[in-house]
A and B are shown apart, each in its own frame.
Chain A
Amino acid sequence: MVATQAPTEERIWQLLEEVSDPEVPVLSILDLGIVRAVQLKGETVHVTITPTYSGCPAMNTIATDIRLRLLAEGITQLTIHNQLSPAWTTDWMTKAGREKLEEYGIAPPVDGTATGHLLNLFGQDTAVRCPLCKSEHTHLVSQFGSTACKASYQCDDCQEPFDYFKCH
């Protein structure tokens, strides 16, 4: 059945919690901090989202998924805004999101380690905990991984290679 009463902003936030990131399905788009604002203006719902990376191919899918989820609740008048500034940062990832990420097998970002310092050539690798055996004994394989938001690491104890959601 389609709901007929007017949606509230609170209800829309609840619905958005059910929209998952297409590349890391264990995370909702709220866990990632992609949704920046929800506003009701008259009959129209405005949702503002921001990309994690400039070339993030998931943005179109995310916008479609938001549209479909709200449509299922009978919300047809929806405008999705793409906002670039302030630029997305891993600081916006929720604590719950970080825990889910680690459980899923991806090491969550270690805050304050973004590569903004050019003097740090061949600098020490960020100490990242292995999401499988929880060892801190790991090393960076490459700053670039399976998607734009991840780096490749390997655990020196259990030897398992793993993805690290790099700090940004």
Chain B
Amino acid sequence: MSDMTYTSGGEPPLRFPKTVLFKVGGATFGMVDALLEFLRVLRGTIRFSIWGKRPKGEVLNQMYQVGNRSLLFVCVTLGCLGMVLVYQILLQVNRITGDTSQVGAEFIKGMVHAFVPSLTAMMIATRVGAGIAAEIGSMMVTEQVDALRMCGVEPIEYLIAPRFIATLTMTVILTVIALAVAVGAGSLMAWGSFGVNPAVFLSFDKVTPGDMITGITKAVVFGAAIPVVSGYCGLTTRGGSEGVGSATTRAVINSSLAVIVLDFILSALAYFFLQSKGL
């Protein structure tokens, strides 16, 4: 057998495909393992958020970290985006019809239904997601997570569940604030650049209950996804400071990706279950 497989002068000829097969197989098993571990973190987070014991004041502390410290960042971003969007829309509308009376109503509808929940969540994913992964990741590499386990603490209960409750709550609150800021900034831009009366611009006539349900559902789901994805990245940190950096990067990328994919799924579900029924 060895005569068939190996030649005298160097690498065995059958080794390359075998190596490739091992690598593909190993990567597949690795992905399945990662998915199972992620589902374990997700299940544990939901379970411990409902029934778990939390350190006193930890949820409030995390709400401060997530909410208060993201407020300026989210408001500036959404305010600027609101102004840019309104400016571009009005520019195009002025070129085509010149009737700007419906721009505000349509802008607000789009903001409530789609843009504000996803953009706010993207901002939270970059700031909060990175923070969660870095914090838990550095605890992993300094064995603090092992020390928690030795003291009879389930790390998901102690570290992820309070962040989950805080991020979920604060994402909804920040989304509402961001909506007000984006609409307000857009209204100012419309008034300042194109002379659209704020009383005309700030029309909520086109916002349906379905839009509000969709917007709030998105904020809740995004707020739930970000800490779970980031917490999972933190808990799977390996190595030293390089591993923490890698976990932080993965947390930002995966949380943002989760927001985009979930946005697509929720928008499709909203279309089939709400908009098609006139809501």
A and B physically associate? no
Residues on B lying within 8 angstroms of A by beta carbon are none
